Amino acid sequence: MRERIVHALGRDVDEETLRVALKQQPGNVDAAVALARALLARKRSDEALELLNDVLLAVPGDLRALNAKGVVLDNEGRHHEAQALYRQALAMDPGNSMVRHNLSLSLALDGSAGPGSTSPEPVSDLSHALVRSR
């Protein structure tokens, strides 16, 4: 029980530290992504989306912020919105394997990755991307 309390307190301190960092630097993508991840883990995706929207206002088109927002949207089942963000990110950096992988996963979750889909990469390359992303 003590370990859980200490662990929970440590997470709250981390969250507060990240929030302070974002107040000081609204475009701090590292802090935003870390905080969004923590919020998503706590099932507070609305807060994570709001946070990422604010960061994207400070640094429009940031690849990592777009990707993180896509992940949150996918988690909410909003796959079409997530896919639009992944495609926007891929338009800026077509070779980004992390975004390409997330788009592939989103298409699969959405059921769009079947035969004749507009999957971003051939299925044979997908297994390679899964290995690389770990």
Question: Given 60, 81, 106, which residue is the final one in a domain?
Answer: 60
Structural domains in the chain (count): 2
Q: 68 and 122: one domain?
A: yes
Question: Given 15, 35, 60, which residue is the final one in a domain?
Answer: 60
Instruction: Grade residue 126 by pLDDT with cuts at 50, 70 and 90.
Output: very low
Q: 30 and 88: one domain?
A: no
Q: 49 and 75: one domain?
A: no
Q: Which amino acid is at 78?
A: R
Q: What is the pTM of this model?
A: 0.75
Higher pLDDT, 27 or 10: 27
Kindly give, in sequence order, each residue whose CB lies less than 8 Å from that of residue 117, ignoring residues fewer than 6 positions away: 107
Q: 55 and 102: one domain?
A: no
Q: What is the pLDDT of residues 43-96, one digit of tens each?
A: 999 999 999 999 999 999 999 999 999 999 999 999 999 999 999 999 999 999
Instruction: Grade residue 113 by pLDDT with cuts at 50, 70 and 90.
Output: low
Q: Reduced to 3 states, what is the DSSP secondary structure of residue 127?
A: helix
* % of the chain at pLDDT higher than 70: 74
Report the distance separating Cα 20 and Cα 9, nearest Å.
17
- Residue 56 sits in a domain of what CATH number? 1.25.40
**pLDDT score for 91:** 96
Q: Which amino acid is at 18?
A: L
Read off the pLDDT of each residue in 85-109 and give the average, rounded to a whole number. Answer: 96
Read off the pLDDT of each residue in 96-104 and give the average, rounded to a whole number. Answer: 97
Q: 46 and 79: one domain?
A: no
Q: What's the domain range around 19? A: 1-60
Q: 48 and 77: one domain?
A: no
Q: 129 and 72: one domain?
A: yes
Higher pLDDT, 12 or 126: 12
